[in-house]
Structure 1
Amino acid sequence: MKRILDLLLACLAAVLLLLPVCIVALLVRFTSPGPVLYWSDRVGRDNRIFRMPKFRSMRQDTPAVATHLLANPQSFLTPIGSFLRRSSLDELPQLWSILVGDMSFVGPRPALYNQDDLIALRTERGVHRLLPGLTGWAQVNGRDELAIPQKVELDLAYLQRQSLWFDLRILWLTLLKVARSDGVTH
Structure 2
Amino acid sequence: MPDGLVDADLSLPRSSPKRGKRVADVIVAAVLLVLVTPLLIVVAALVAMGLGRPVLFRQCRAGLHGQPFEMVKFRTMRPPNLNLGLVGDRDRLTPLGRWLRATSLDELPTLWNVLRGDMSLVGPRPLLPEYLSRYSPRQARRHEVRPGVTGLAQVRGRNSLSWEEKLEFDVRYVESHNLRVDLSILAATVRTVLRREGINAAGSATAPEFLGTPPRRPAPPQRDRTPA
Q: Matches of residues 53-92 of structure 1 in structure 2 within 5 Å?
A: 53-61=72-80, 72-92=88-108
1:67 — aligned with what? none
Partner secondary structure for residue 80 of structure 2:
coil
Residue 175 to residue 78, structure 1, CA distance change in 2 (3 Å): same
Deviation, structure 1 residue 123: 6.2
In the alignment, what sits opposite 1:21? 40
8 A contact 1:107–1:158 mirrored in 2 = yes
The one-letter code sitting in structure 1 at the alignment partner of 2:122 is V
Which residue does 2:120 correspond to in 1?
104
Which residue identity does 1:183 align to in structure 2? G
5+ residue gaps in structure 1? 63-69
- Which residue is equivalent to 1:31? 50
Q: Which residue of 2 aligns with 1:42?
A: 61
Gaps of 5+ in 2: 1-19, 206-228
Alignment correspondent of 1:184: 199
CA offset digits 1:67-113 (Å, max 9, x no partner): xxx98532111341000000000000000100000000000000022
Aligned 8 A contact 1:122 1:128 in 2: no
Q: Which has the higher helix share?
A: 1
Retained in 2: the 8 A contact 1:41–1:51?
Answer: yes
2:63 and 2:69 in contact (8 A); partners too:
yes
User: What's the TM-score, normalizing by structure 1?
Assistant: 0.89
Indicate the structure (1 or 2) with the bigger Cα radius of gyration.
2
Looking at structure 1, the residues matched to 131 and 147 of structure 2 have their Cα atoms a distance apart, in angstroms, of 15
What is the aligned-residue identity percentage? 40
In 2, the alpha carbon distance for the partners of 1:122 and 1:148 equals: 15
1:166 aligns to 2:191 (yes or no): no
1:102 maps to a residue whose letter is D
Counterpart selection for 1:3 from 5, 22, 35: 22
RMSD after superposition: 1.9
Q: Which residue in the other structure is 1:155 paired with?
A: 170
After superposition, the C-alpha distances for 1:35-87 in whole angstroms (9 at most, x for unaligned) are 0001011010111110000000011228xxxxxxx985321113410000000
